[in-house]
Amino acid sequence: MVSFHRLFLFVLISTAVAAPASNSQPNSVYSALPEWQTVAPANEDINNSAWSQDTTEQVEPIRGNTGASMITQDDLALDQQNPDLYARPSTDEGYTPGAKWPFSLSSNRLQTGGWARQQNTNVFPIATDIASVQMRLKAGAIRELHWHTSAEWAYVLKGTTVVTSVNTDGQVFSSAVIKKEGDLWYFPAGIPHSLQATDDDPDGSEFLLVFDDGAFNEDSTFLLTDWTAHIPKEVLAKNFQINSGAFDHIPSKELYIFPSTPPPDDEQPPGSPNGFVPNTFTYKLSEAPAKPLSGGSIKIFDTRVFKAATTIVGALVTVEPGAMRELHWHPTMPEWDYILTGQGRMTIFAASATANTFDYRAGDIGYVPPSYGHYMENTGNTPLVYLELYNSDKVQDISLQQWLALTPPALVKAHLGVDNAFIEHLNKTKQYVVGSH
């Protein structure tokens, strides 16, 4: 709170400036008041996470001299994993919709060939532009021939998967994806495709699917067997110009994920008179070089390197312990995050004195609406590795530090009350991930 002495001084100076002498012309030059005389400085509270997400101790909603102990039963495990919600930083204010969804809370659809669980606006309302599915296929199992109204992007978590597709020109695509974790595939909306796990890994394969529509529903996919089960056999016979007996064994309902024999290593797709798709539907992100940074590294992938993926692009970010993904925002596109390993926290600034901090660990999803300021800080003792995805064709962001470094120094000083040393310290190059300080 501003002291009485400062308040008196402020009123005295304001009166003197506002009332020009009667025997002279009004002065067109005014001296700006220092920021401490107009707005109280930001608080100096230490706002690190109140405890580690890995703690096994009793935790309480107390920070400094604020809060009080919990005196009724509570879900201690969730409290321990969310220190910045349970005992939020003093810099947090207002309310933003929940920006965290743990895949562990998604209902898991179990099939004979594997399983799948999804995240969409039904469970994560803030994520209006991007939905996702985590899927596991046993060795040889097939995610049946299908297509979607949304584009499908994928990141391989484990194992090898064969993907096949045909485009509208009858050009074919088939690829063994992926020999190792971290490779990608992408199918545009409406393009039919299939997924089958090989037996390179005895456990089969597991992957993350991402769709460019937050309302996407995995249970509303267009499936081959679902369609043929709802077509009269005489219509099928007429379409394929064959006896209807050929369809005596078609399934009566969708197969979705079902077991099968693993494909041979040398299997090739049928040849097409129209050739192959012009832009490959896969990208070996695992082999792409990472850009080393002071606090970690980053691999950026968009249409400049993966031409087919026109609606979902992003970055694979590694943040070392104590480091952080720098303060930034994305002008027109949301950011969807998936934590692969480690743990961290992110504060989302929504304007109008509204900012909330969320804690993340492996398997959690984060979401930041367009233009919301944010960062991601590693709060653990091991590297934090996560995906940043955007509903766009190119990766774009605004770095707070770069912006200030490229703004006239007098303007920066007038806003923040900083000195020349701070101005000279600013980096005019985007940093992406900065080290611990």
Q: Find out whether 162 and 198 touch, Cβ atoms under 8 Å.
A: yes
Q: Are strands 384-390 and 313-319 parallel, antiparallel or unpaired?
A: antiparallel
5 is in an annotated binding site: no
328 is in an annotated binding site: yes
- Distance between CA atoms of 224 and 374, rounded to whole angstroms? 43
Look up tokens 């832009």; give the residue: 279
- Distance between CA atoms of 2 and 35, rounded to whole angstroms? 12
Point out which residues pair with 146 in neighbouring strands. Answer: 193, 223
- Distance between CA atoms of 415 and 187, rounded to whole angstroms? 47
Whether 144 is a known active-site residue: answer: no
Catalytic residue among 218, 320, 326, 388: 388
- Distance between CA atoms of 270 and 142, rounded to whole angstroms? 18
Helix then strand then coil, % of the chain, to nearest 5 = 15, 30, 50
DSSP character string of 398-420: EEHHHHHHTS-HHHHHHHH---H
DSSP character string of 316-345: EEEE-TT-EEEEEE-SSS-EEEEEEESEEE
- Distance between CA atoms of 179 and 247, rounded to whole angstroms? 36
Q: Find out whether 130 and 336 touch, Cβ atoms under 8 Å.
A: yes
Query: Residues near 355 by Cβ (< 8 Å), separated by ≥ 6?
Result: 91, 92, 93, 94, 96, 347, 348, 349
Which among 87, 246, 368, 401 is positioned nearest to 376, based on CA atoms? Answer: 368
Distance from the Cα of residue 303 to its chain's centroid: 18
425 is in an annotated binding site: no
Which among 130, 69, 191 is positioned nearest to 314, based on CA atoms? Answer: 130
- The SS3 assignment for 395 reads coil
415 is in an annotated binding site: no
Terminal Cα-to-Cα distance of the chain (whole angstroms): 29
335 is in an annotated binding site: yes
Which residues carry out catalysis? 388
Annotated binding site for Mn(2+): 146, 148, 152, 193, 328, 330, 335, 374
Point out the annotated binding site: 146, 148, 152, 193, 328, 330, 335, 374
